[in-house]
Amino acid sequence: MTNVAFVFPGQASQYVGMANDLYSTRTEVKELFSRANDILGFDLATICFQGPEERLRETDVTQPAVFVHSVAVLLLLAKEGIFPSIVAGHSLGEYSALVAAEAIDFEEALELVRERSCSMLQAGFSNPGAMAAIIGLDAFEVNRLCEISSDRGVVVAANFNAPGQTVISGESDAVRYVGELCREAGAKRVVDLLVSGAFHSPLMADAADRMTPLVADVNWLQPSIPIITNVSATKIQESNILSRDLITQITHSVRWTESMETLVSSGVDLIVEVGPGQVLKGLMRRIARDAKVTCAGTVEEITNLVTLLKEDDR
């Protein structure tokens, strides 16, 4: 039996037309989007399928869109008898991972995602900031440059995405300053990100405060499988730690490289990116080139995955 891990994408994996083929061919996906529309109070399906892209990119839409698409695929994979032995999610994707591990149900998770997206959007208005991807410079050096630049304002290494790809976040002037230092230190590129706030930095403290009582009120269940959290980069199966890490990750770094190293070392045969896009597959090529990774976000990709697993299990 193939030992499968699921990884779930976060913000920036959205695209106009996402989940449309799933919705048009599977009744359970239509029902899922209907439930999502009721919880969110707007027509998520239409924005996902038709855009406009500018609206889909807004945090309060992007996060629910990526989450619901991921859970839709999760449901379809379960109907095919495909279940993970371990899961992880990149930032927002951690909510999808929690659903996959049966730690929280879809409705409560989506309510949290709705509040998280709105709280992070509001925090971005209250404490404006910026993010930039540093390409081609060692993560330790990026982190060091952030630390020595604290007198310029809040700036931190927010996402350790892969070797040679680290995202910094904080006050706009401080992010620009560290970006220049990174260029001088040999970074190949410094790419400003189109985001509504300084995610995974102390500037998101208001959002973390808002989310704390909401996460505490969730009906947490014992996870059926381990979850590698962004904050710990280790396998967690205790609800009290999962709930704590879910809050902490709003203002702290996403330790994705370490998380994926933990995942690969857990002995899985296949890693499946569940949801829209192929961002995490691309990162995995840089983290563990020999790891076997595939994507499941469309009808075609799900069909190919089912065929692949049937062949492997012969």
Q: Cα–Cα distances in Å, from 132 out to 168, 172, 180, 184, 285?
A: 5, 10, 11, 15, 21
Task: Reply yes or no on whether 196 is catalytic.
Answer: no
List the catalytic residue out of 200, 243, 252, 253. 200
Task: Reply yes or no on whether 91 is catalytic.
Answer: yes
List the catalytic residue out of 13, 70, 91, 119. 91
Q: DSSP letter string over the chain?
A: ---EEEEE--TT---TTTTHHHHHH-HHHHHHHHHHHHHHTS-HHHHHHH--HHHHTSHHHHHHHHHHHHHHHHHHHHHTT---SEEEESTTHHHHHHHHTTSS-HHHHHHHHHHHHHHHHHHHHHS--EEEEEESS-HHHHHHHHHTTGGGS-EEEEEEEETTEEEEEE-HHHHHHHHHHHHHTT-SEEEE---SS-TTSGGGHHHHHHHHHHHHTS-----SS-EE-TTT-SEE--HHHHHHHHHHHHHS-B-HHHHHHHHHHTT-SEEEEESSSSHHHHHHHHH-TTS-EEEESSHHHHHHHHHHHHHHT-
What sign for the dihedral angle of Cα 173, 178, 179, 184?
positive
Catalytic residues, which ones? 91, 200
